[in-house]
C-alpha cells in the first residue's frame, strides 16, 4: 500500500515539477512520511522514475483494453474516433499527467518506446485479431505499421497539439487503409 502511495505521489510531483525538479522530500511531504521511508520503499530516484513509468504505461494499456472491450464490432469509424480521444487523454503537449513530465531526453524516449510497444502488444492481442476475423487486413508488416503510427500520432499531438481530432482520425484510416466514413446526406 505505501509503495503505491509513494508512486502516486511521485507521479503528481513529476507532473507538477518534472523529474529533475522533484526530490524525495517532495514525495515524502506529499505522502506524509519521512524521506527515509520513501528510500526504504523505492531505493533511489532511478527506481522511482522506473516505477512511475511502469504505472503510467499500465494505465495507458488498461485504457486501451477498456476501449477495445467497449468497441462495437463492425463500427470501424467509431473505434477510430474513440481511439483518437483515448490518445489525447494520455498524450499532452506540455507533458502533464497522466504521463509523467520527463525532462531527461533519454528517459522520455525510453518511456515513449516502452509505452508504444505495450500499446501495440495489447492491440496485437485484442483489436487486430478481432478486425482480422471480420475484414481483410490491407497492410503489410502490421506490427511495424502500428508502431510507426502510434509513435507518429504521439509526436504529432505533442508537437502540434491543436491538430484536430478529425485529422488524426484520417491519418489512422489512411495508414491502416480503413474505409473512409461516408458523409451524412443533407
The conformation of residue 136, written as its DSSP 8-state character, comes to -
The conformation of residue 93, written as its DSSP 8-state character, comes to T
pLDDT of residue 69: 93
pLDDT in tens, 23-61: 999 999 999 999 999 999 999 999 999 999 999 899 989
pLDDT in tens, 59-115: 989 999 999 999 998 899 999 999 999 999 888 655 444 566 777 777 888 888 999
For residue 108, give the nearest of 142, 154, 163 by alpha carbon: 154
Give the 3-state secondary structure of residue 92: coil
Alpha carbons 184 and 166: distance in angstroms, whole number = 15
pTM for the full predicted model: 0.83
Work out the angle between the directed axes of helices 45-70 and 105-125 (0-180°, nearest 10). Answer: 30
pLDDT of residue 184: 54
Alpha carbons 122 and 83: distance in angstroms, whole number = 13
Amino acid at each position: 500500500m505505501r509503495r503505491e502511495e509513494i508512486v502516486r505521489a511521485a507521479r503528481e510531483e513529476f507532473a507538477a515539477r518534472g523529474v529533475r525538479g522533484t526530490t524525495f522530500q517532495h514525495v515524502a511531504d506529499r505522502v506524509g512520511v519521512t524521506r527515509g521511508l520513501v528510500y526504504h520503499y523505492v531505493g533511489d530516484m532511478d527506481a522511482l522514475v522506473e516505477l512511475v513509468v511502469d504505472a503510467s504505461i499500465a494505465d495507458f494499456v488498461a485504457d486501451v483494453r477498456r476501449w477495445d472491450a467497449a468497441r462495437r464490432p463492425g463500427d470501424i469509424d467509431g473505434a477510430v474516433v474513440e481511439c483518437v480521444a483515448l490518445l489525447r487523454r494520455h498524450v499532452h503537449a506540455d507533458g502533464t499527467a497522466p504521463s509523467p513530465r520527463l525532462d531527461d531526453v533519454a528517459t522520455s524516449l525510453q518511456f515513449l518506446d516502452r509505452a508504444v510497444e505495450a500499446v501495440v502488444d495489447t492491440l496485437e492481442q485484442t483489436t487486430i485479431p478481432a478486425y482480422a476475423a471480420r475484414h481483410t487486413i490491407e497492410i503489410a508488416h502490421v506490427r511495424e505499421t502500428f508502431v510507426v503510427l502510434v509513435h507518429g500520432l504521439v509526436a504529432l499531438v505533442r508537437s502540434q497539439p491543436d491538430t484536430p481530432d478529425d485529422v488524426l482520425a484520417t491519418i489512422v484510416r489512411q495508414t491502416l487503409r480503413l474505409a473512409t466514413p461516408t458523409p451524412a446526406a443533407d
